[in-house]
Amino acid sequence: MASPPAEASALRVPGYRTFLITFMLAMMADNIEHVISYWVAFQKFHSAALGGFAVVSHWLPFLVFSVPVGALNDRFDSRRLIQAGMVLFITASVGWGYFFVTDSLQLWHAMVLLTIHGCAGVLWGTSSQMLLYDIVGPESLPSAVRLNATARYLGFLVGPGVGSIIMRMLGPTWGIFVNTVFYLPLLLWLVSAPYGRHFRGVAAGPKRAVRGFADIVQTIRDVRGMPVVAVMVLLAGAASFFIGNSYHAQMPGFAHDLGHGDPGLTYTLLLGADAAGALLAGVLLETRGTWLRMAPASALKLAFLWGCSLLVFSFMSWYPAAICVLFLAGFLELSFSSMTQALVQLNAPDTIRGRVLGLFSMSASGLRAFSGVTVGLLGSVTNIHVSLALSALAFVTVVGVLLLRRPQQRA
């Protein structure tokens, strides 16, 4: 692996500042749409199955389409692919609004709109990572990845609150229409933003047809010859498959067992503790991040500690301690996940960068579709404490093996 370049703050790049603001607005809009659409769909159908489909439809497109979308980024302008994602987001919001106005929403309508929203996410997410490298370059890439991850957590925190306010003030129908406005800044800025492979003057690699599953197989073969990328893809995949963010959906159960199951401040603190930890990590690493070396070993050790913190949380019975452990888990999660992604970006060959980033996105996001089984379904068979403990233990075991194998790889 080549030595990482000296890191500079991405905020010094004017184009990145605009990208970050518009990215954060789009992330907020994504979460606002979830708040409004999920609430109306629940009020109309009271369907637990639809709630489960919402999770699957959000993550499954990442599993199926991430590498093909990455391949498209190797051939076409990433800006236009991001704009296509924004158009799909707006289409989904307008679609919800139409069915709210006409009071004609049916179950299959909701499923189609949720699927459109999921496809918009994979177009936006994978292509944004491709464009990020072109905006800031390798020197500021770790900073940019970290700031984007921080913005994502901020969207998770702010989006539901803004969505609730909009729904109370305007109602769900007008609220979902107003939400489309938040997607427009990113869509319009990308019309003429001077970023992309051709602006850097980098020669494109040989044109390869987009071949779906065959692309996934070939990209896996390519990545096997890149030790750093391969380990980081495995690490991200293990985190998504075994844990993901599925324990968030089980938080009402954990809150009840901690004696704070009723809606209120204590429950809200439990929900937001790991997001708050992640935000602090983003701020500290951006301003005081020189103490944390950008290396695979650092990412693996942080991930190991993250798994251990969730293992400890699964057995917590004292509310204040549970808050502290979740806060620490959020801090560690942002630290290792942003480092993992930055290392993949820095070590991906430019000729197949899109496909490599697509494979990473498939691993880091797509495999979250299965974390509902490892934590949720297993929890229904045993209980949520045991299921989270077993999932965290499995993840820690995988990371431990990867750490033990690193000296062999160096030798």
- Could you give phi then psi for residue 21, rounded to 5 degrees? -65, -45
CA 247-285-66 angle, to 5 degrees, is 55
Alpha-helical regions (H) of 46-106: 48-75, 78-102
> Residue ranges per domain, the chain?
1-203, 211-411
Half-sphere exposure of 154 (CA within 13 A, CB side): 17
Check the CA dihedral 224-228-233-234 and report its sign. Answer: positive
Two tokens at 242?
Answer: 């075994």
What pTM, to 2 d.p., does this model score?
A: 0.83
Q: Are 361 and 62 in contact (CB under 8 A)?
A: yes
Q: Rounded distance, CA 396 to CA 245, Å?
A: 16
Query: How confident is the prediction along the chain (411 residues), in pLDDT tens digits per residue?
Result: 444 455 678 888 888 999 999 999 999 999 888 888 888 887 888 776 776 677 778 888 998 899 999 989 988 899 999 999 999 999 999 999 999 999 898 999 999 999 999 999 999 998 998 898 889 888 888 888 888 888 887 777 777 778 778 888 888 899 999 999 999 999 999 998 888 766 655 555 555 555 667 777 888 888 988 999 999 999 999 999 888 876 766 666 777 777 765 555 666 677 678 888 888 888 888 777 666 778 899 999 999 999 999 999 988 888 889 899 999 999 999 899 989 998 998 898 888 888 999 999 999 888 887 766 665 566 556 677 888 888 899 999 999 999 988 755 554
- DSSP run (H or E) holding 243: none
User: How would you label 121-151 residue by residue, b for 16+ Cβ within 10 Å and e otherwise?
Assistant: bbbbbbbbbbbbbbbbbbbbbbbbbbbbbbb
The terminus-to-terminus CA distance of the chain in angstroms comes to: 14
For the domain spanning 1-203, the CATH number is: 1.20.1250.20
Give how far Cα 62 sits from Cα of 69, 108, 148, Å.
9, 21, 18
Quick check: do 1-203 and 211-411 share a fold? yes
Contact by Cβ (8 Å): 395, 307: yes
- Give the residue carrying structure tokens 């990215």: 23
Residue 406: partners with Cβ closer than 8 Å, 6 or more residues away: 231, 296, 297, 300
User: In CATH terms, is domain 211-411 a member of 3.30.70.380?
Assistant: no
Residue 395: strand, helix, or coil: helix
